[in-house]
Chains A and B, each alone.
Chain A
Amino acid sequence: MSYFQRDRERHPPAFTPAYKTSVLRSPRHALLSLPTTISEETGPVFGHDVLGALDNDLIRNFGKDGGEAIGQRIVVSGRVLDEERRPVRGALVEVWQANSGGRYRHRKESYLAALDPNFGGCGRCITDDEGRYAFRTVKPGAYPWPNGVNDWRPAHIHFSVFGHAFAQRLVTQMYFEGDPMIWQCPIVRTIPDPSAIEQLVALLDRRATIPMDALAYRFDIVLRGRRSTMFENRPEGN
């Protein structure tokens, strides 16, 4: 039941000097490649009991006394699938993002754009039987960062996803359709393959918009697939 090998041509390499922090944080040795073992083919399970009622509603989950976040109201939804197009059910999806002005609520962040008193910036949910997830939030703003002298991140939402196996563990970022900043960003451009970059761009989803309330974006996430053990001598079975 081993998992498909990661296609490291589609993932960013570790050493990507235009993204400066990667220079000292990238291994110089090659990765040691091995087939997955039970240590990687298993992973933690998260039940719905960990979730609170507003965990996937970033517009309302931080504000006190019913205060709501300021910004373009959006719904972000999609499916978590594996490489064989099977839905990944019960997957914990965690998101974090800046507010509509591009400001993160974090003590190390010093960008002059203001914090929104009603926006924390974190959310999470667990996929349903079809692998679906959904968040309500405000569209994050672009923000400047100390890399080049004038580098700006495109609007983005960070995603952390747990599949069924530790081998599937993935952290990535979602971008927004039509944003011209995407193609200039040194972090986006750590990914060498433009079609792989396109896979991180959420599409405006007109049908999922809520009239007079929120626009909607659609973002599907693909985790590693596993192959069934057809001709392999495995004592523990399939």
Chain B
Amino acid sequence: MTLPLDYLPESPSQTAGPYVHIGTNPNWVEITGVWRDDLGLVLVGPETRGERILVEGVVTDGAGAPVRDALVEIWQADAAGLYPSPAETRGRADPHFSGWGRQPLSAEDGSFRFETVRPGSVPYPDGRPQAPHITVWIVARGINVGLHTRLYFADEAMANAADPLLNRIPEPERRATLVAERSERDGRAVFRFDIRLQGERETVFLDM
């Protein structure tokens, strides 16, 4: 005689479909007057602490075509490496930073662009530092379960080389798919992070 374990199974995922923006960005698809602002468009304000950066890129499919109907969300720590979340136990995050962004891809070229701050380092469960990173999550028509990945910064080479997650990628050449290229525009660092769902230089996706 054994006692059954009393867990519920997680609800299974389904694709967000081609009209996800009706629910997440109604104003963007011209469903106006229902709520004032689409959530997640702005992460920073004038009082946010830290180095302002731009994060931009495109999402492409296995044929190299832009995935114009995708929705991208990002989640990150503030400049001091603290998350604006009740589950953050190490201190209080910058009250002028939301940490969370959400955006539909451009219907023209499948691009996204977030204005944010460079995140500080946060610890791995064993206490080692993780290199600064931004969590990225993508849903779209044809994606059955939201894809989870991470953006790291090309100008953090030493931290990246010691990062516990990057070092767990079995094929070293694939680590580069998570490292955003740096350039500058109007005196501000711009990080280019293209997400390739399938095929050549396919982005590493995570089961976390």
Task: Please report A residues at the B interface, Cβ cutoff 8 Å.
Answer: 1-8, 10-14, 16, 19-29, 31-46, 50-52, 54-55, 61-62, 64, 81-85, 94-96, 104-109, 120-124, 158, 160, 164-167, 169-173, 187-188, 190-191, 193, 196-197, 199-200, 221-225, 232-237
Contact A11 B13 (CB under 8 A): yes
Nearest residue, chain A, Cβ from B142? A21
Contact B11 A200 (CB under 8 A): yes
Give chain B interface residues in 26-46, CB to chain A under 8 Å.
26, 29-31, 33-36, 39
Q: How far is the CB of A166 from chain B (nearest CB, A)?
A: 5
Interface of B is mostly: loop
A8 and B207 alpha carbons, distance in the complex (Å): 9
Contact B36 A25 (CB under 8 A): no
Contact string against A for B residues 2-26, beta-carbon threshold 8 Å, 1 for contact and 0 otherwise: 0000111111111111111111101
Contact A33 B207 (CB under 8 A): yes
Nearest residue, chain A, Cβ from B196? A27
Q: Which residues of B contact A123 (CB under 8 A)?
A: 23
**Segment among B120-128, B153-161, B180-188 that sits at the interface with chain A:** B120-128
Interface residue from B7, B34, B62 paired with A122 (Cβ < 8 Å): B34
Q: How far is the CB of B122 from chain A (nearest CB, A)?
A: 5
Q: Which residues of A contact B203 (CB under 8 A)?
A: 27
Nearest residue, chain B, Cβ from A12? B144
Does any Cβ of A come within 8 Å of B52's Cβ? no
Contact B8 A85 (CB under 8 A): yes
Can you list the 7 inter-chain pairs with the closest CB atoms, starting with the nearest?
A96-B23, A21-B142, A42-B85, A25-B142, A44-B100, A12-B144, A42-B83
Known: A25-B67, A43-B85, A83-B9. A94 touches B24 (CB 8 A): yes
Interface residue from B87, B142, B150 paired with A22 (Cβ < 8 Å): B142
Q: How far is the CB of B150 from chain A (nearest CB, A)?
A: 8
Does any Cβ of A come within 8 Å of B1's Cβ? no
Interface residue from A2, A26, A34, A96 paired with B168 (Cβ < 8 Å): A34
Contact A104 B22 (CB under 8 A): yes
Q: Which residues of B contact A82 (CB under 8 A)?
A: 8
Contact A28 B137 (CB under 8 A): no
| Interface residues contributed by chain B, number (CB under 8 Å) | 84
Nearest residue, chain B, Cβ from A166? B75
Known: A12-B12, A19-B144. A55 touches B198 (CB 8 A): no
Nearest residue, chain A, Cβ from B122? A38
Contact B123 A83 (CB under 8 A): no
Does any Cβ of A come within 8 Å of B49's Cβ? no
A47 and B95 alpha carbons, distance in the complex (Å): 14
Q: How far is the CB of B14 from chain A (nearest CB, A)?
A: 4
Q: How far is the CB of A40 from chain B (nearest CB, A)?
A: 5
Q: Which residues of A contact B8 (CB under 8 A)?
A: 81-85, 222
Give 5 A-B pairs besides A28-B199, A158-B16 with Cβ atoms closer than 8 angstroms: A24-B62, A35-B125, A108-B18, A165-B85, A171-B15
A83 and B26 alpha carbons, distance in the complex (Å): 31
A222 and B6 alpha carbons, distance in the complex (Å): 13
Contact A190 B14 (CB under 8 A): yes
Give chain B interface residues in 168-208, CB to chain A under 8 Å.
168-169, 174, 197-199, 202-208
Known: A24-B198, A36-B208, A122-B34. A44 touches B122 (CB 8 A): no
Q: How far is the CB of A87 from chain B (nearest CB, A)?
A: 12
Contact A85 B30 (CB under 8 A): no
Give chain B interface residues in 60-80, CB to chain A under 8 Å.
61-63, 65, 67, 69, 73, 75-77
Contact B87 A7 (CB under 8 A): no
Q: How far is the CB of A85 from chain B (nearest CB, A)?
A: 6
Contact B22 A96 (CB under 8 A): yes
Contact A7 B144 (CB under 8 A): no
Q: Which residues of B contact A187 (CB under 8 A)?
A: 14-15
